[in-house]
Structure 1
């Protein structure tokens, strides 16, 4: 299976690439990034500028796209810059993949994503979901994780770190969908969705909420062992 992974240098993206490269049924991973990744026999790593994506690259055609592309308003510097990255770049890449014949798009969104949300961040995520639906992929999978735990961020996020600490400390008292979810579980759920897509005559949209992502890596690992 040939997979195209967007946002491969982020927390979830790094996990996606690692898990995809280790999967026996994945023959090639295409990961366009701004900076070079560590080489791997199954990895094709085009160096790109997301503001000027190549229109006719043959690698846009894949069995599925897994998108973990995104930033924060703080890192982007403004709401406009954030929207350009999290919305415009994602939809531009999705449009090119769709035009090239890719049938399945798996998108890492956020818990509470809604174009009418009070939070600008969640508004943008919700608009991306709406625009991905409008592109008409044969299958669209949307995952909506809560706070992400695990991995090492390049930027410091004190408020998020405190929230994750409290989530782990009082985990049993917090509703499951609001608990922090490990980036490895998010990646595992996305990869499982990509590898097990079912295509129907009409557009198919599946939404996985945060509570459904909990323990995804453990579940997929156990299923793999049972098959062996």
Structure 2
């Protein structure tokens, strides 16, 4: 099916990557409709076409009540995430960064089954992070790594996972992370000397859109999820 006949769903469209992705998807105008699911609606400027946009708010702690909102999509983009500082604790961070993502994915797979049974035909595209590893001793990369593994085991035909490096933001966060402030200065220097340790959020958005339009060919067992890991160099190449 061409993108023109497909419907896209975006989870976490109010965050830096999610909002940039939403802009790119709407500007590309390749989907029949684009729906956002989140805790609040996204505010876009008038330069972004919004005739195909549908925004729905849900309670991620009671997502079962919104099952009907997660039905009828071919491509699902997920940019849900937070920081420990914003979440308030490690447990609260894990609930948003991992549980909300995986629980949403499970319901989406259940609500969009294959006609003849088997894996859900949904292509699930998830924005993770460089260095993600379930064996990491650190909270953030460990959560991302565990989320990646769980998504691959949910039951989709395709899962594409994006691992960008340090993100260059289009607008300031309400509460900038200390690490971002420090690393931002380092990134500025490395760009002067020709190194690229960062990637603009718009580039990540375009790379995710590119992957949806150019899915990896299936090989081997048709009953096994096709998992694609897109590292930062490929993100920069396909999202430029």
What TM-score do you get using the length of structure 1 for normalisation? Answer: 0.88
Q: Distance in 2 between matches of 1:164 and 1:216?
A: 23
Aligned-residue offset at 1:167:
1.2
Offset of residue 24 of structure 1: 2.7
Bigger mean CA offset, 166-175 vs 187-196: 166-175
d(CA) in 1 for partners of 2:101, 2:8: 16
Give 5+ residue unaligned stretches, structure 2: 1-5, 45-49, 113-120
Instruction: Please name the residue that 2:96 is paired with.
Output: 85
Which whole-Å CA distance do the structure 1 matches of 2:170 and 2:144 have between them?
22
Q: Deviations over 1:111-144 (max 9, x none)?
A: 1111101211111110001101111210110001
Deviation of the 1:164 alpha carbon: 2.0
On the 8 A contact 2:168/2:201 being kept in 1, the answer is yes
Question: Contact 2:39 / 2:59 at 8 angstroms: preserved in 1?
Answer: yes
Q: Does 1:7 align with 2:12?
A: yes
Report the 3-state secondary structure (helix = DSSP H, G, I; strand = E; otherwise coil) of the residue aligned with 2:38: coil
Partner of 1:132: 151
Matched, 1:159 2:185: no
Q: How many Å apart are 1:22 and its aligned residue? A: 1.3
CA RMSD of aligned residues (A): 1.9
Structure 1: state its 5+ residue gaps: 219-228
Matched residue pairs, number? 216
Partner of residue 223, structure 1 = none
Taking the aligned partners of 1:215 and 1:165, their CA distance within structure 2 comes to 24
Tell me the secondary structure at the aligned position of residue 205 of structure 2. helix
Relative to total residues, which structure has the larger strand share, 1 or 2?
2
**Match status 1:50 vs 2:60:** yes
Residues 1:38 and 1:77: Cα distance change in structure 2 (over 3 Å): closer
Aligned to 2:76: 65
SS at match of 1:31: strand
Match status 1:123 vs 2:128: no
Residue 179 of structure 2 is aligned to residue 182 of structure 1: no
| Whole-Å separation in 1 of the counterparts to 2:132 and 2:106 | 21
Aligned to 1:196: 214
Q: Deviations over 1:135-183 (max 9, x none)?
A: 121011000111100212222223312312311322365865xx01110
Deviation at 1:192, TM superposition (A): 1.0
Shift of 1:86: 0.5
